[in-house]
Amino acid sequence: MSLYPLKFDPILKERLWGGTKLKQVLGKEITSDITGESWELSGVAGDVSIVANGKLKGCSLQELITKYPEEVLGKSVLERFGSEFPVLIKFIDAKQDLSIQLHPNDKLAKKRHNSFGKTEMWYVMDADKDAELIVGFNKTVTKDEYAKSIEENSLLALLNYEKVQEGDTFFINTGKIHAIGSGVLLAEIQQTSDVTYRVFDFNRKDKDGNYRELHTELALDAIDYEKKDDFKVSYNQNKDEVNSMVACPYFTTNYLDLTQPMELNVADRNSFTIYICVAGNASIANDFGQIDLQKGQTILIPAVSKTIHINTTKAKLLEVTI
């Protein structure tokens, strides 16, 4: 099979805190005023991405992996993660603050949920004036201090707030308490996992008048209570180069700010490659075909590819591999 660059139908999710920026800024075909997420590339059961272009249109990502496992994923990825697609790519629009939450590590997630943990990173694509993220604590706390703050409804006083603008990037390792603040639109790259421990939701009620479930007890043994300044990603933004952003066991992400065509030899990469367009547009080709990519779109280059050609005069891309 000639595995050309693959684009997938977005999986749109209404959320209590969602808005309309996915349509206004990224051109998604949303139909509500509370669309919070666009799942761009997903192997999560029940939400598996469907190919939107070419001869494979209508095939699911999982069907492709089942038929062409090594060609799609790459041998080393297949050996490490099996036939489950190991990352989940999303765009998130927070019109309101998201709940304060954290994610368990692999060991705890496997024990409790038979799932991977959830390490993730955020790239801010758009932010209202004074928009913020919550990332970690503003001081090291004990488990008892944290538990008391939950009981007394005073958790917010313990949290670290970060004002953000376009281009800011954050790495959220497991155990780190966090929340996306109102007015932020971002791209999220994460392990394939939907395990989230929600610990505070601003006492909001859903559309049916109910409080959303909190995971107070589950979170106690999953939280990293130490104050750490390890979350803000400093990265070069050199034009027409591959700039390293994040390298962790679960994904590697690079930043490309291109003003001219680029050719990449990926014969030895032994992994699929994902491109997320965060500004501008480009035409991207592998050995078997090409596709146009514009801001707010994501494509998958199968691992069987030997070369990648990016034709553009102005594009900013996030490149994700394993």
Binding residue positions for Zn(2+): 103, 120, 178
| Residue 45 near residue 153 (C-beta atoms within 8 A) | no
Q: Is 198 a catalytic residue?
A: yes
Q: Indicate the annotated binding residues.
A: 103, 120, 178
| Residue 118 near residue 109 (C-beta atoms within 8 A) | yes
239: phi then psi, degrees, rounded to nearest 5: -70, 145
**What are the residues facing 247 on neighbouring strands?**
252
Cα separations (Å) of 186 from 19, 41, 168, 299?
13, 15, 10, 17
End-to-end CA distance of the chain: 23
Contacts of 126 (CB under 8 A, 6+ apart): 21, 25, 166, 184, 185
Of 15, 80, 198, 212, the active-site residue reads: 198
Distance CA 17, CA 310 (A): 36
Helix (H/G/I), strand (E/B), else coil: 111: helix
- Alpha helix ranges (H) inside the chain: 21-24, 61-67, 69-73, 75-81, 106-113, 143-151, 216-220
Q: Is 209 left (phi over 0), alpha (psi -120 to 50) or beta?
A: left
Point out the residues that are catalytic. 198
